[in-house]
A and B are shown apart, each in its own frame.
Chain A
Amino acid sequence: DGGITQSPKYLFRKEGQNVTLSCEQNLNHDAMYWYRQDPGQGLRLIYYSQIVNDFQKGDIAEGYSVSREKKESFPLTVTSAQKNPTAFYLCASKGGMDTDTQYFGPGTRLTVL
Chain B
Amino acid sequence: GQNIDQPTEMTATEGAIVQINCTYQTSGFNGLFWYQQHAGEAPTFLSYNVLDGLEEKGRFSSFLSRSKGYSYLLLKELQMKDSASYLCAVMDSNYQLIWGAGTKLIIKP
Q: Could you say which of A48, A100, A106 contacts B41, with CB atoms under 8 Å apart?
A: A106
A43 to B89 alpha-carbon distance, docked (Å):
9
Interface assignment of A90: CB less than 8 Å from any CB of chain B: yes
Interface residues on A, range: 10 to 19
Known interface pairs A106-B41, A106-B42, A107-B42; A100-B101 also in contact (CB < 8 Å): no
- Give the A-B pair count, Cβ closer than 8 A: 44
* A109 / chain B contacts, CB cutoff of 8 Å: 40
Known interface pairs A42-B100, A42-B101; A107-B4 also in contact (CB < 8 Å): no
A81 to B97 alpha-carbon distance, docked (Å):
26
Binary flags per residue of B36-49, CB closer than 8 Å to A gives 1, else 0: 00001111110010
Q: Cβ of B101 and Cβ of A40 under 8 Å apart?
A: yes
Which positions 66-111 of chain A face chain B at CB distance < 8 Å?
Answer: 90, 100-107, 109
User: Closest approach, in angstroms, between the C-beta of A93 and any C-beta of chain B?
Assistant: 12
Interface residues on B, range: 20 to 34
Known interface pairs A100-B30, A101-B48; A41-B101 also in contact (CB < 8 Å): yes
Known interface pairs A43-B99, A90-B42, A107-B41; A100-B91 also in contact (CB < 8 Å): yes
